[in-house]
Structure 1
Amino acid sequence: MSRRFSRLAGLACAAPLSLALASVASAQSVAPDDDAKDSSGGPQASASPPGIRPARSQPAPAEALPGGRKGPPGVPQALRWTEDWSKKPADDAPFLEKIRHISLDADDDVYLSIGGEARVYYTNWKHSTLGLRANDDNDPVQTRLRLVGDLHVGPYVRAYVELGDNREHGEQFATPPNEDRIDLYQAFMDVTVPLGDAGKLTFRPGRFEMPLGNGKLVGIREGLNMRLTYQGLRTTYILPGKLSVDAFALRPVAISADSFDDTGDAGKAFKGVYVSAPKAIAGFGTDAYWYRYDRSNATLREGTGDDQRNSWGARLWKRTPQFDFDLEGTVQRGSFADQDIRAWGVMLETGYSWPSMPMKPRLGLRANAFSGDDDLSDGKAGTFVAAGPRLPLYSEAAFFNFSNMVDLYPSLTLKPVDNVTLMAGPDFLWRQDKADGVYIGPSGASFAPYDGSRYVGTALNLEASWQTTRRLSFRLFETYFSAGDGFARNGGRNGNYFGLLSSYRF
């Protein structure tokens, strides 16, 4: 209890610092606007890239694409490179607004934007691996600092650099992506070629974040200090409002804990094409994609060896002020340690909102199914493996990986006031195949297969977010996992997660 109190005390001390920073920019720190709307006219959180679900609080969300639509002018975004600071600030603007647009020529065609982030995240797990490993309680405090420099040379050339410092304090065991002393987090150029009525083409070489689609299978890993980043080349064609085509050839960045020592991972390669048409079928958006993720010396329940995995998928989605729908299916083919890969995944997220009612209620339903391996001796690898999974697909606790998992999650979302969002519901979880195990957390380590029920357990989830100003936000997470009888008899434990996060972006 004393450890938890000391961690919370540290976070409480950090919160006034964020508030003090906010007061420096008080002239520009305003209450959030009404519910955001995406390109299809439906509500969506603007400050959130795929993989993040903060309050629905700001207009016109940014597109997570090179050359794509930027966020609303003068509002910090979760993906910092999607921000719009093109407007020159007034002469009497606060300092933190002035440095977001520093003119470097008389015509204001060349300008530099300087920004940053300070984040403190207290996390407390009881049985973080649900009993897979002994002594698996952990209650660290994460601290994340960022400094951003964004140089624009006319409308078609930009250079973006983001430095990061990441620390973990008071941990019982280390989580590697939480510890990375000052390093080059992102560094890339965007060169855009205008094609007139035919759209535009943007080339992005360098190191960068790259969520794809809804960010469920290729996300950004926001729950940890270090997000997923890649280095290589990304090329994007956009015909605004009609079509985008994304092609990339990259290596994931391997994180080392010291300063300026992160490099591309020589044992992994990621390439593919992602196509999106926002209003292709009766107002529904349609995506299609192929990507290949190669890993040397990968370890799965089927063994250890080279994993060369192709994912072919399609997505159908739509958002209106009342209705949201997102259905995605993926099949995986390739080879793993001389075995043929035969895996699949299906993801559904839908809901209905009543925006004119008090507290703007939304009833939601999330359902996912990912294949397991029904026979470890048949020469086929049937366990689904995502390239960059958004583990908070289940909850912020990230107790489970996607492999061999089926879940059903009804939820209720309420907005007591415009800048506060509450979401709660039970998540029911099963194994897809009894011949395969239960896969835990980011590592993907698993419990051995066991006889008996497929039912794994139920997670009771609560999320609360408060967008205090357009720069300062707080989030709270609580998940209690109750293990099913069969899982408990085979080593599974009940677990609990509590998280409290404060973030200030300028």
Structure 2
Amino acid sequence: MKNKILLVVLLISFSGFAQRYPDFKSLRFDENYSVLKNDTVSNDWYKTVKFLPISSSKETYISFGGDIRFQYFYAKNENWGDGPQDNDGYVLGRYLVHADFHAGKYFRTFVQVQSSMADGRIDPNPVEQNPLEVHQAFADFNIVNEGSKKLILRLGRQELTYGSQRLVAVREGPNNRQSFDGIKAIIAKQNFTTDLFYSHYVVAHDGIFDDASNQDRQFWGSYLVFNKIPVIKNIDVYYLGYERAKAAFNDATGKENRQSVGTRIWGKTENWRYDGEAVYQFGDVGDKNISAWTASINAGYRFNSVKFRPEIGFKAEVISGDKKIGDNSLQTFNPLFPRGAYFGLASVIGPSNLIDFHPSLNFEIAKNVDWVIDYDMFWRYSANDGIYAPNTSLIYPGDTTTKKKIGNQLESEIVWEPNQYLYFRLEATWFQAGDYIKASGTGKDIFFTGITMQIHF
């Protein structure tokens, strides 16, 4: 009841704010509230929360913020009917609160705590429940900070996200976001930015302030972005290195050392949006050599002059899987640290050993209200490999049948964002199990529905 009262109070409070504050970012540390230094409005408690000067020049200040999200989900035949089933549904709640301290142009610290709770969930996993943890705590040393030229050294626990979040994401969809302990150099100049980083993945535990670096999982790399390129608009080029002490795939176990090189071309015009990406992976798992790859295209065209401004979208992915059991090579693609709900919250399938075709329709049915309908078709890329969760844990092995059809997924959602502070989503998904799922497990069709309410402040 207290949570509901708090939610109502915040809804009333934030709905009245004018749009004179900077927009919220997916990475909250990217927000800049120094623009409020010259704001003349007084007696505004929210302005004080976002910009609290602690020096006479106002160059040193603290900014506070956070997110509150509640979700109710109900699933029939979760995991295609395998495992324990919940007939009543469950509630997920997530609280994120941060403090951002700036000491002039050349130093800042950012601290964020996270609490993720699962009420009524049968045996919640660490992605769903993590009572209280230090999610981020880092310091920035702005060695160069002049206009478009930047050289920033970041030390500590931090979120990482790159490109389309196919390989590195904050994992916003599930209840518990992910972070890394590491060091990062950020270099920017005009239409060019690059990150160089080395880190250890932070493992979530079901306790209070007990999350810690996993020394057996190292992650490093370089991500370059070039903007305003003639014709193609934008291009990303990257290298990602990953090592973990214990890996397990359908036909390989042991220490994994995997290198990924990739590129992404993306952009947007008045009507078109497009995002194409290709990745190649090499290295080894145990005594097997890695040779894996993926290619994807995600495009859409919006009819701006037509009522409801409909957009026709299409996405296709081909993701390699292991070709032959018992040889000395492995073609299973590892998506590293992708967004958790990769194909929606209903589906547990991750982007490994997969062919995916995904048409969609999007309508702006009212001001700030979108209705999205999409249809996903899944096949195994290789009949000799299984299917995997986003964290590469094996869901079903590859030898249950030679059938490749995993299933079809129909999803519809309505999203209402009345302003930058509030977000509401109503969704429903039906997953029709294919021949491979039916041969590998209970094989029932999944029905999933849910509602999301979120506040940013």
Shorter-chain TM range is over 0.9
What residue is the counterpart of 1:181 in the other structure? 131
Q: 2:292 aligns with which of 333, 339, 343?
A: 343
Q: 2:351 aligns with which of 389, 392, 402?
A: 402
Match of 1:165, SS state, is strand
Unpaired stretches in structure 1, ≥5 consecutive residues: 1-9, 31-71
**Cα RMSD (Å) of the superposition?**
2.1
Percentage of identical aligned residues:
27
Match of 1:414, SS state, is strand
Q: Does 1:162 align with 2:151?
A: no
Aligned length: 452
Q: Does 1:121 align with 2:71?
A: yes
The 10-residue stretch of structure 1 (363-372 or 194-203) with the greater mean CA deviation from structure 2 = 194-203
Q: Does 1:220 align with 2:170?
A: yes
Q: Deviations over 1:149-200 (max 9, x none)?
A: 1111122321111112221111112121222222211111122222758822
What residue is the counterpart of 2:240 in the other structure? 291
Cα distance change of structure 1 residues 443 and 127 upon mapping to structure 2, 3 Å threshold: farther
| 1:477 Cα offset (Å) | 2.3
Q: Check conservation: 2:246, 2:256, Cα contact below 8 A.
A: yes
| 1:14 Cα offset (Å) | 5.3
| 1:498 Cα offset (Å) | 1.6
Q: Check conservation: 1:339, 1:380, Cα contact below 8 A.
A: yes
Q: Which amino acid aligns with 1:176?
A: P
CA distance in 2, matches of 1:266, 1:73: 40
Q: Deviations over 1:34-59 (max 9, x none)?
A: xxxxxxxxxxxxxxxxxxxxxxxxxx
TM value normalised by structure 1: 0.85
Match of 1:393, SS state, is coil
TM value normalised by structure 2: 0.93
Q: 1:370 aligns with which of 308, 319, 323?
A: 319
Cα distance change of structure 1 residues 386 and 307 upon mapping to structure 2, 3 Å threshold: same
CA distance in 1, matches of 2:117, 2:392: 20
Q: 1:498 aligns with which of 449, 452, 457?
A: 449
What residue is the counterpart of 1:379 in the other structure? 328
Cα distance change of structure 1 residues 124 and 441 upon mapping to structure 2, 3 Å threshold: farther
CA distance in 1, matches of 2:342, 2:206: 27
What residue is the counterpart of 2:387 in the other structure? 438
Q: 2:211 aligns with which of 251, 262, 278?
A: 262
Cα distance change of structure 1 residues 330 and 441 upon mapping to structure 2, 3 Å threshold: closer
Q: 2:223 aligns with which of 254, 262, 274?
A: 274
| 1:73 Cα offset (Å) | 4.0
Cα distance change of structure 1 residues 140 and 92 upon mapping to structure 2, 3 Å threshold: same
Q: Which amino acid aligns with 1:406?
A: I
Equivalent positions of 1:20-419 (< 5 A) are 20-28=9-17, 73-86=21-34, 87-88=36-37, 89-131=39-81, 133-137=82-86, 139-194=89-144, 199-240=149-190, 242-419=191-368
CA distance in 2, matches of 1:407, 1:15: 40
Q: Which amino acid aligns with 2:321?
A: G
CA distance in 2, matches of 1:202, 1:160: 14
Cα distance change of structure 1 residues 273 and 136 upon mapping to structure 2, 3 Å threshold: farther
Cα distance change of structure 1 residues 75 and 316 upon mapping to structure 2, 3 Å threshold: closer
| 1:479 Cα offset (Å) | 1.3
Q: Which amino acid aligns with 1:311?
A: S
| 1:293 Cα offset (Å) | 0.9
| 1:321 Cα offset (Å) | 2.0
Q: Does 1:19 align with 2:8?
A: yes
| 1:469 Cα offset (Å) | 2.7
Q: Which amino acid aligns with 1:77?
A: K
Q: Deviations over 1:426-464 (max 9, x none)?
A: 101111011112224546322122434322110001122
CA distance in 1, matches of 2:133, 2:437: 42
Cα distance change of structure 1 residues 181 and 79 upon mapping to structure 2, 3 Å threshold: same
Match of 2:341, SS state, is helix
Q: Check conservation: 1:22, 1:29, Cα contact below 8 A.
A: no
| 1:356 Cα offset (Å) | 3.1
What residue is the counterpart of 1:466 in the other structure? 416
Match of 2:306, SS state, is coil
